[in-house]
Amino acid sequence: MKTGRIIRSLAGYYDLELPDGSIERTRARGQFRKSKQKPLVGDWADFESENGEGLIWKLHDRKNDLVRPPIANVDLAIVVTSVIEPAFSQNLLDRQLVALEAADVRPVLYFSKLDLVDDDKQAAFKEQVSLYQKIGYTVIFSTDDLKASFTPVLKDQVVVAMGQTGAGKSTLLNQLAPELKLAVGEVSQALSRGKHTTRQVSLIRVPEYETLIADTPGFSSYEVFDFPVEELGDYFPEIREVAPNCRFRSCSHINEPGCAVKEAVELGSISRERYNSYELFYQIIKGKRPVYQKNSTKWRQDRLN
């Protein structure tokens, strides 16, 4: 029996990297389908191989896993968010951050295409997203020295790059590690959506950073809330910090009196925009599903035109 990490999944086959760096192709035994257990890229697995054909027998326990993108045992997620083309959506960014917090994956926020707007608009955008730096998230802009900014956070990590289609995930990874030679797509002007260039999840070893980096398929929406509504506040760091001061231990931070979170919003120590995201997600999880006006969460386009 051998042990390796799944680094690629394609058409029912799983490529596993062994400790010596060799790669072996395998299939999963039928028992996984019966138990509704699916191997994911990033999984550690025990397998046997004979005559060049491998069979996965057992998956090791995961420290975490993500639904979108489907990957396991991640240390760090680079959340790639574009300033324009496609337009910035704080709602979409907050959805991704909640999912990462729930999976206990450290996010790094990378804002792409900032260099495509003029200096005044760059300053306005940086001011708008400064709230994430105040919360404690690492924030990197496309106008920064990318090698200097990313090298300290990437070293010896399993990293996933995730974000909206056309946001620039592959472009960023090619800048950090040109040897990856990842395909780069264009954004449809009519739909403000990117063309899908990454079709599968693959972990790629990048010796320069002593890391494994996954380029993943993009998406146009993100609707993963697979946890009880009572946990939602735990996945907003600024709410998690203030919540113990609420009058009621089970405070939902929606209508209760003596809510320290709502007081912090009024005082400005928690941003109104982030609280609006919390309130919307709370309603979605509760099943109320309000009508969502997409334009209301996008950065005002008149600031870019």
Enumerate the known binding-site residues for GTP: 112-115, 163-171
Q: Token pair 């950065």 is at which residue?
A: 299
- Please state, in angstroms and rounded to a whole number, the distance separating the CA atoms of residues 195 and 178: 21
- Please state, in angstroms and rounded to a whole number, the distance separating the CA atoms of residues 261 and 282: 14
**Positions at the binding site:** 112-115, 163-171, 246, 251, 253, 259
DSSP-derived secondary structure for 184-253: ---EETTTTEEPP---S-EEEEEGGGTEEEEE---BS------S-GGGGGGGSHHHHHHGGGSSSTT--S
**Positions at the binding site for Zn(2+):** 246, 251, 253, 259
- Please state, in angstroms and rounded to a whole number, the distance separating the CA atoms of residues 133 and 50: 52
Separation in Å, CA 225 to CA 65, 71, 228:
14, 17, 8
Q: Is 289 exposed, middle or buried (0-12, 13-18, 19+ CB in 10 A)?
A: exposed
b/e code 138-155 from CB counts within 10 Å (16+ = b): bbbbbeeeeeebbeebbe
Beta 76-82 vs 158-163: how paired, if at all?
parallel
Beta 106-112 vs 65-66: how paired, if at all?
unpaired
- Please state, in angstroms and rounded to a whole number, the distance separating the CA atoms of residues 245 and 252: 13
The two most distant CA atoms of the chain are separated, in Å, by 69
Q: Token pair 């697979």 is at which residue?
A: 226
Q: Which residues pair with 181 in a beta bridge?
A: none
180: which DSSP letter? G
